Amino acid sequence: MYHLMIKTSFAAAHNLINYQGDCENLHGHNWRVEVTVSAKDLDKAGLGIDFKILKKKTNELLDELDHKYLNDLVPFLESSPSSENISRYLYESLSQKLNNDNVTVTQVNVWESENACASYTPD
């Protein structure tokens, strides 16, 4: 099994729901995102998936979040836009776009600061 990872980022505002503390107030982050996929086999070029495709699909999704107020977006209307929920949303959305017989999204990490990260992987 081959594991490939890309790193990218987006900036957005949010406020946590049902949270007792400063983060319940409107604030923003420059989130860093790491997407890991697994590939069973390599193609004729020796690639599991072209990094260009992985970056493109990820950045298309992040463009929908970038410089937005996350609480107003459909994926977060009924759940707090925490780093945990953002990582799950990105994982599920990217899985729909990328998963096939050879490639599977295995993990998405969302860093809200240099020292704080939430990850999502399937059960």
Output the CATH code of domain 2-120: 3.30.479.10
- 12-17 mean pLDDT: 96
Contacts of residue 74, Cβ cutoff 8 Å, sequence gap at least 6: none
- Identify the pLDDT of residue 123: 80
Burial of 20 (0-12, 13-18, 19+ CB in 10 A): exposed
Contacts of residue 88, Cβ cutoff 8 Å, sequence gap at least 6: 108, 120
Quick check: 2 pLDDT over 90? yes
Phi, psi of 100 (to 5 degrees): -150, -165
Q: Which residue from 110, 67, 66, 64 is spatially nearest to 91, judged by alpha carbons?
A: 110
- Identify the pLDDT of residue 97: 96
- Domain residue spans in the chain? 2-120
**Residues 34-73: pLDDT tens digits?**
999 999 999 999 999 999 999 999 999 999 999 999 999 9
Q: Is the Cβ–Cβ distance between 2 and 48 less than 8 Å?
A: yes
Please give the angle made by the CA atoms of 69, 74 and 77, to the nearest 5 degrees: 80
